[in-house]
Amino acid sequence: MSFTYEPVGATRSGELPAGFHHLNVRTRIGEDVFRRAADAVLSWRMHRAMGVAMDTAAETAAPGVDVTVGLGPVKAPCRVVWTVDERRRAGWAYGTLPGHPESGEEAFLVEATGDGTVWLTVTAYSRPASWLARAGGPVTRGFQHAYARRCGVVLRRLCAGPAGA
């Protein structure tokens, strides 16, 4: 299956293409919790802790890995476009495949600043690909923003708990 949009990989550079709705939500996660936050994002644990089904055979995000994201009755096929796992940056992005209600890309990036503060940034560009998403209009975009904010809340909670939680 091919991606349902172009350009693929634009969330990595941050130069989001015209013709899409853009999203950029940054949340402070905590101090000195980078590795815990990175592991939770790379292993799908943050998403699963949000109650999102991540149907994939892979234990961690890697380029080319297919994952079907499930939000209640909505099943959204995606493929991991890129990953990064460095000393101060870790995360991944997926792009939409045929059958996804939206067309575009979404990235989840954990970064540690020089003072040890850890941030999660959710970046996306999308446009409706189904009648349901088109009918949702501003409500759909509002849901996307709420979802991005919830990612930060859940990741902060995961990192505040006991090690390995």
Residue type, 110: V
The DSSP call for residue 47 is: H
Residue pair 88/34 in contact (Cβ under 8 Å)? The answer is yes
User: For 1-57, how does the pLDDT look when each residue is reduced to its tens digit (9 = 90+)?
Assistant: 799 999 999 999 989 999 999 999 999 999 999 999 999 999 999 999 999 999 999
Structure tokens belonging to residue 36 = 């815990």
User: For 131-155, how does the pLDDT look when each residue is reduced to its tens digit (9 = 90+)?
Assistant: 888 888 788 888 899 999 999 999 9
Assigned fold of 10-160: Alpha-D-Glucose-1,6-Bisphosphate; Chain A, domain 4 (3.30.530)
- The model's pTM is 0.94
**Burial of 67 per CB tally in 10 Å (0-12, 13-18, 19+):** buried
Q: Given the structure tokens 């939500």, which residue do they identify?
A: 25
